[in-house]
Structure 1
């Protein structure tokens, strides 16, 4: 049961399952990606994670996040940040790019308008996964 009520009609507010963490996204995402990496699979407890790539300055988070320091395939450190009370994953922050963060789309209060535009880490996708969506796919991360 949520302990904090939030009102939103535009899909830019969100938070964790118990309500101790809330956020407002003040701009549109740069990209929306389905991530099939094994770390997102483990963190989400699912076959993939849907992430909004946003500018950190556009995301205003309220509440104290817990942090798990993880290491990307590239060797770069990333912070997987979540609610310490209910465990909801909120953001993944790459430490080698302090301008962006990956916001977990499942935490949006009204995420029904979210449409992924790319799939990444397709090499790690579950073998049963198929999609009819015309998404650009990458075996690993988006090339820079």
Structure 2
């Protein structure tokens, strides 16, 4: 099992399985959410995630027009996880919230259309200008 948490530790997730997908995202919404030029994300089957602690929900509209529900700690403000209406069986978790340098590397890089040009990523990743289809 792995544990993710916010900066102050009040909002925690325990996951009982490995992620189904890890990816980095360069979309402008992720840049704003993280304050960084891209986000690192792990996606889990909702059934294997146990959430404890209070969270505040922020809903944004994705490029697809569907809702993405972001959950952050009301004490320290860290966004720890999210749920997208477009993928209701998954929970996305910020990789940094695991604070685990050996965490599984990403398999893909998405929304590279807004990637900062100085960001260099491994050629072993699948690269997509937008959101991949068929994954």
Equivalenced residues, count: 134
How far off is 1:133 after superposition?
A: 4.4
User: What TM-score do you get using the length of structure 1 for normalisation?
Assistant: 0.87
**Contact 1:16 / 1:107 at 8 angstroms: preserved in 2?**
yes
Q: Detail structure 1 runs of 4+ shifted over 4 Å in the superposition.
A: none
1:56 matched to which residue of 2? 46
Moved more, 71-80 or 128-137: 128-137
Distance 1:53 1:87 in 2: 21
How far off is 1:55 after superposition?
A: 0.9
1:38 to 25, 28, 31: 28
Structure 1 counterpart SS, 2:9: coil
Gaps of 5+ in 2: none
Distance 1:57 1:64 in 2: 19
1:120 to 110, 113, 130: 110
1:79 to 69, 72, 84: 69
Whether 2:87 is the aligned partner of 1:110: answer no
Distance 1:111 1:104 in 2: 13
Gaps of 5+ in 1: 1-9
How far off is 1:58 after superposition?
A: 1.1
**Contact 1:105 / 1:111 at 8 angstroms: preserved in 2?**
no
1:89 matched to which residue of 2? 79
Moved more, 79-88 or 94-103: 94-103
* 1:4-43 alpha-carbon deviations (Å, 9 max, x no partner): xxxxxx6x11201001011111111111000111000000
* 1:39-98 alpha-carbon deviations (Å, 9 max, x no partner): 000000000110001111111110011111101001001101111111111112102332
Distance 1:39 1:99 in 2: 21
Query: Over aligned residues, Cα RMSD in angstroms?
Result: 1.3
Distance 2:52 2:70 in 1: 16
